[in-house]
A and B are shown apart, each in its own frame.
Chain A
Amino acid sequence: MQFQFANFAEFLAMDGHGIYVWVCFAATFAALAALALYPSLARRRLQRELHNQQRIAQRRRRAKTQQTDMEEPA
Chain B
Amino acid sequence: MSVTTKSPVVLQVRDLACERDGRRLFEGLDFSLNAGGAIQIKGSNGAGKTTLLRTLIGSTSDFSGEILWRDKPFPRGLRSMRESLLYVGHRGGVRGGLTPLENLTWYGATEASAMEALDRLDLFGFEGSLCNSLSAGQNRRVALARLFLPQSPCLWILDEPLTALDVAGVAALEKQMANHLENGGSLLLTSHQPLNLPGLNFVDLSDFLVEESFSDMGGEHVFN
Contact = CB atoms under 8 A, between A and B. Distances in A.
A53 B216 CA distance: 9
B217 interface: yes
Interface of B: 216-217
Interface in A18-69: 53-54, 57-58, 61
A58 B215 CA distance: 11
A61 B217 CA distance: 13
Nearest to A60: B216
A54 B217 CA distance: 8
Contacts of B217: 53-54, 57
A74 to B, nearest CB: 28
Contacts of B216: 54, 57-58, 61
Contacts of A54: 216-217
B2 to A, nearest CB: 39
7 contacts: A53-B217, A54-B216, A54-B217, A57-B216, A57-B217, A58-B216, A61-B216
Nearest to B216: A57
B46 to A, nearest CB: 19
Nearest to A57: B216
A58 B216 CA distance: 9
Contacts of A57: 216-217
Contacts of A53: 217
A1 B137 CA distance: 84
A53 B215 CA distance: 12
Nearest to A54: B216
Contacts of A61: 216
A35 B63 CA distance: 36
A-B CB proximity, top 4 nearest: A57-B216, A53-B217, A54-B216, A61-B216
A57 B216 CA distance: 7
B214 to A, nearest CB: 12
A36 to B, nearest CB: 27
B183 to A, nearest CB: 53
B176 to A, nearest CB: 48
A53 B217 CA distance: 9
B100 to A, nearest CB: 51
B138 to A, nearest CB: 46
A58 B217 CA distance: 11
B198 to A, nearest CB: 45
